Every structure is written in structure tokens, then in C-alpha cells.
Structure 1
Amino acid sequence: MDPWSIGLAALVVLGLAAVVFGALYDRARNRRRHQEMLAPPARVIPRFRPDAPSPHYLSDLQARRPPTGAAPTAALSAAERTAVNEQLADQATPSVPAGYASAEFVTDPTARWVVLDQPVVCVCADEVASIRELLGLLERLVLSRTPLVLVAPAVAKDVLGTLEVNRIQQRLSVVVVLLPEVADRERVAQLCGGRPTDRSDRQAGYLPPEDLGRCERWVSTARSSHVLTRRTATA
């Protein structure tokens, strides 16, 4: 056989080998891509250092206990309690037919009252459905240590629970009063110099000072709430 024939045969064999290799390689690559598409994405699992302290999670029961070493809630003196009681009995004292929404907000255990001095009064025109609606306001009040009276026709259970925990942990002095009647909410807003706010404004964080009411002292019992124009002297 002449060299030309040998070269041609070798070229044909190499060509066939290249075609077979390419087909097998492409088949394997397509199979690998198919498996990658069906497989779950790779995730990096965080790991603690061997010397890192074990994580601590706060249970709901623990969250509803006052922090260790915290000062007790400042209750009224006997003389001041008597004076406030006289103001509540006075027919001229403005009041609404709804008390605190939860006993967790009570500040005077003896009388079972919520007494907040110089609070911001936020009157809501509609239900407070998420804590996000109040975040901007709460951040400002926590920093300034200003009490909050939240008046609304309804408040979602998780929002009420969040406010309760913040009150128990002494991060915020707050009371929630549920007033379903529009006339009652408008009366509170008028008495305190504010206006009812709607959900869209609260979610946008648009709560200018003129929309928020204020009063000298707010007192809520289990059944009614009262706007006091003056505080009594502490004995």
C-alpha cells in the first residue's frame, strides 16, 4: 500500500474518532446541565465558631416579663390617686366610652388605671392592620421617651401584642383605646388638637406634628378614657 492510501485511511479513522468523541462529550455535557437544572441551588450554611456562645432566643413568656433590674412602674401616690378620681367623677371632664384594650398597659396597679402624662395622641380613621404603619412614629417616640395614646376602630392582634411587649419591656409608655364610632374618634382628635389619620398616610410615614394630638394627661380605666387638662400634684 502506498503512503497516500495509508495517510487517507488514518485521516478517516481520526475523523470518525473525533465525531464519536464529540457526540459522547456533548451527550455527557447535556446530561450534566439537565441534572444541574433539576438539582436544588447551592446554599452556604452558616456555622458558628467552636468558641462562639450558643444563640439565645426570647420566648413569648420571657418577652412578657419586665426586664431584670428594671425600675418598677411609677404608680400614683394615694393623694394623687384620690385627686384623679375626683377629676374622673367630674361631669365636665371629657371622656369616651372605651377603656384600655389590654390590662398589660396598666401603669397604676392599685387603681387599675393607665395614666400617661403629656402623651402624643394618634387617632386613626381606620384599622391599624400592621406594625409597619406605626414604625416611623414609634421610633420618634421611643427616642424622645414620649408616651403614646393610640385610638383606632380596631387593631390587629399582632400589632396589639407588639405594643404590649414594648410596654412590658419599658421601651414605650403606650395605651391602645378601641373606639368603633367615628364620632367618638373625631371628638378625641378635636379635644387633643389633632385629626384622624388614614392607613395610606401612616404607611407612608406621613404623620406631621399637626396631625397628632396632645393633652396634659390621659387616663384610661377598664371601661372609659378621659382627657384631663391638668395634672394633680404628687403628694
Structure 2
Amino acid sequence: MGWLIGALIVGTAALAVAFALDRRAERRAEQPPETGDARLDQHRPTYVTAAEIARLEPPTEADPTPGVGYAINSATLWANPAVLAGARVVVVDGPVTKERELYPIHALREPVLLVAEQHSGEVSDAVTANAKALRRMLLVVSASAEVRAAIASATGANPLRPSDLQAGFVPDEWLGRAASVTARSGTVEISPD
């Protein structure tokens, strides 16, 4: 008889824990409650899925600008040709792995070429979403240390560390300039300013 009472106590405790965890998961899945203040409610976050990004119309291509000057090869380019006129150049000595590292770069209003050691799928998705939804022209290229140094030298950019991007430290005078950046078939051509 004692084992039956013990089983009932353990079973009841397990059900209570399962119920509490289920309620917690439901509350996390719900939208935050509206405050009734329109100024606050209009800034509620909305999330875009990868499927929604894929359904967006691609940006219209700019008029092609002949690319002359410095050229590099890269295996990690956008699949579509890209032309950036009057681009700012950001060189990062290290990987760019988080979307939040792009925030200080998105504050720039000109087209941007970001050259880093490597970049993650999260960064690629963020670039695609911004190109399709906001028409933001940002080209992310992975390159070796030698190529990054050559690009920095040719465009006047000072290399940043990944921690600089994470801290939001992207001084304007550290950015390089390029008259045009043309990307096609794994090759990037940069015409320095």
C-alpha cells in the first residue's frame, strides 16, 4: 500500500511540473500584450522568416558600371551580379558571424562592401533580407588576410576587429571609398576613388 501512495505522489508531482512547463512555453509563444498606448504598440517587434524573405521581390539591378582597378577572387559572393557605385569599404580582420555586427554598417546610407575573413549563414540571410526588403546595397565578401590588406591599402580603409563591430565602433575615417564595386561570377572588381 505504501508503494501506491508513493507512486501517486510522484505521478502528481510529475503532472504538476509538466503543466507548469507547458504553460511557460505557451506564454513565450504568445504576442506581448498591447499596452493601449499607440506610441508604444507601433514599435512592437515583428519577425520575418526565411520563407517570407524568399518570397520578396529581388531588388532591381543598377546600371552596370565598368569595373576597372583592383580585382579579387572569392568563393562566397552573392549568386547574382552586383554593382555598387560610390561604395564605402569596411575591412574586418576576422570573421563576421552575427547579424548584430551589421547594425553599425546599416547606419551608413551609401552602398557598402564588407570584406571579412569569413561570414556566417546568419549574416548572409540578413544581407539578403535587407537587399530585398529595404533595398540596402551591402555586399559581403570573404577574403584571405593578404587580400584584405591589399583592399584596405587600395581604398584607404583601416581594418576593424570583429569586437569593433560588436561594440558599434565604426568611425567614418576608418572606412575606405571605392568609385565602383562590381561583383560577378566569384570575382570582385574595385575601382578606388
Match of residue 225 from structure 1: 188
Match of residue 38 from structure 2: none
Moved more, 147-156 or 166-175: 166-175
The aligned runs of 1:47-66 (5 Å cut-off) are 58-66=48-56
| Residue number among 75, 92, 104 corresponding to 2:62 in the alignment | 75
Aligned residue identity for 1:166? N
Of Structure 1 and Structure 2, which has the larger fraction of its residues in strand?
2
| SS in structure 1 at match of 2:55 | coil
Match of residue 20 from structure 1: none
Aligned residue identity for 1:98? S
Encode CA deviations 1:189-231: one digit per residue, 9 max, x unaligned: 111111111111111111111211111111111121111247x
- How many pairs are equivalent? 161
Larger radius of gyration: 1
Q: TM-score, normalised by structure 1?
A: 0.59
* Residue 201, structure 1, aligned to residue 191, structure 2: no
Match of residue 153 from structure 1: 117
Match of residue 72 from structure 2: 96
Aligned residue identity for 2:60? T
Shift of 1:66: 3.0
Q: TM-score, normalised by structure 2?
A: 0.70
| SS in structure 1 at match of 2:90 | strand
Q: Is the 8 A contact 1:66 1:170 kept in 2?
A: no
Shift of 1:60: 2.1
Structure 2 gaps, min length 5 = 1-12, 35-45
| SS in structure 2 at match of 1:216 | strand
Cα distance in 2 between the residues matched to 1:99 and 1:191: 21
Cα distance in 1 between the residues matched to 2:164 and 2:47: 34
Match of residue 138 from structure 2: 174
Encode CA deviations 1:126-167: one digit per residue, 9 max, x unaligned: 0112112221221x12xx3x2111111110111111111111
Q: 1:154 to 1:100 in 2, by over 3 A?
A: closer
Q: Is the 8 A contact 1:100 1:220 kept in 2?
A: no
Aligned residue identity for 1:96? I
Match of residue 119 from structure 1: 87
Structure 1 gaps, min length 5 = 1-34, 50-55, 107-112, 231-235
| Residue number among 64, 83, 101 corresponding to 1:133 in the alignment | 101
Encode CA deviations 1:17-63: one digit per residue, 9 max, x unaligned: xxxxxxxxxxxxxxxxxx9xx864986956889xxxxxx97442221
Shift of 1:178: 1.2
Cα distance in 2 between the residues matched to 1:58 and 1:208: 30
